[in-house]
Amino acid sequence: MADNADHPSSPASMATVVEAIARRAGEIALRHFRSLATLPVERKGHLDLVTNADREVEEYLIASLREAFPQDGFFGEEGGEIAGRSGRIWVLDPIDGTFNFVRGSHNWAVSIGLYEDHQPIFGAVYAPARDLMVTGGVTSEARINGNPVPKLPEFDVSRASTGVGLHPSLATEDRLNLLRFIFDELNINFRCCGSSTLSLIEIATGETDGYVALYDSTWDVMAGLAILASLGVSHTIDWKKVNLQDKLRFACGSDAYLARLRPLLEAA
């Protein structure tokens, strides 16, 4: 096993440290978010404004996590990639849901996921505009704003809902095939909140039964999948066959939910 001497001594202490870092990163992002609200409409979509916010938040995350966990590696959306010695990698999305961020929606979040032994093991997701902090992992109880997450509801197709993630680069036919399957085969409701991270958190809060995504990145989902693992939620990713640079086609949810999606997943 890798040398963990520099790691906090327990999952609880690690969660406390990472939650504090996520909150500070969220404060940085929120400052940029509020400054966007003061700009004229024609400037709100300017790529540099979002890129600067992403970069500043990621730089803070890496610096703070390196101080707390100096043996670990890092992999971030904005290009922050640092090799470590412990075998653990912090996978970071500084602002997931950047389109929402620019448009003034509150559905965006800072995502911090920990990857070890070919699986997500811990996650912290902070949506500062919603004052929402969610943490959890394979050895850490899932919590929302410090409170244990209630038991998830059973899958009931008569009132079921699924989250959907469709990357902008995805072919139109692939998008249509997914929506046709949801409408015609599943016959259930769907929602697309514009943030993969928060789509996963909607499962934890009971707002949806699952999530199906075509072309998500690993930094989009690393934290959320670790949190969902502590709630008994399954997914279809074989992490042993995935590089962190890969794009993902997968679904996650209860076994009953995934069974209903199996024909779509096999076709994809």
pLDDT in tens, the chain (268 residues): 344 444 565 778 999 999 999 999 999 999 999 988 776 544 545 655 677 889 999 999 999 999 999 999 999 988 878 999 999 999 999 999 988 998 889 999 999 999 999 999 999 999 999 999 999 999 999 999 999 999 998 999 899 999 999 887 888 888 898 899 998 988 899 999 999 999 999 999 999 999 999 899 999 999 999 999 999 999 999 999 999 999 999 999 999 999 998 888 777 6
Upper half-sphere CA count for residue 180 (Cβ side, 13 Å): 9
For residue 264, which of 218, 211, 221 has the smallest C-alpha distance?
211
Q: Which amino acid is at 99?
A: F
* Burial group, residue 1, by CB count within 10 angstroms (0-12, 13-18, 19+): exposed
What confidence score (pLDDT) does residue 34 get? Answer: 92
CA terminus-to-terminus distance, the chain: 36
Closest Cα to residue 30, out of 112, 131, 99?
131
Contact 197, 100 (CB under 8 A): no
* pLDDT for the residue numbered 168: 79
Query: In the structure encoding, which two tokens stand for residue 153, read together?
Result: 């509801």
Looking at residue 119, its pLDDT comes to 96
Contact 147, 19 (CB under 8 A): no
pTM of model > 0.85: yes
Nearest to 142 by CA among 86, 200, 194: 200
Instruction: List, in sequence order, every beta strand (DSSP E) within 63-197.
Output: 73-76, 81-82, 89-96, 109-116, 119-127, 132-137, 140-144, 147-148, 161-166, 189-191
**Distance between CA atoms of 26 and 3, rounded to whole angstroms?**
30
3-state secondary structure of 29: helix
pLDDT per residue over 51-85, tens digit each?
788 999 999 999 999 999 999 999 998 887 899 99
Can you tell me the distance from the alpha carbon of 60 to that of 64, in angstroms, rounded to the nearest whole number? 6
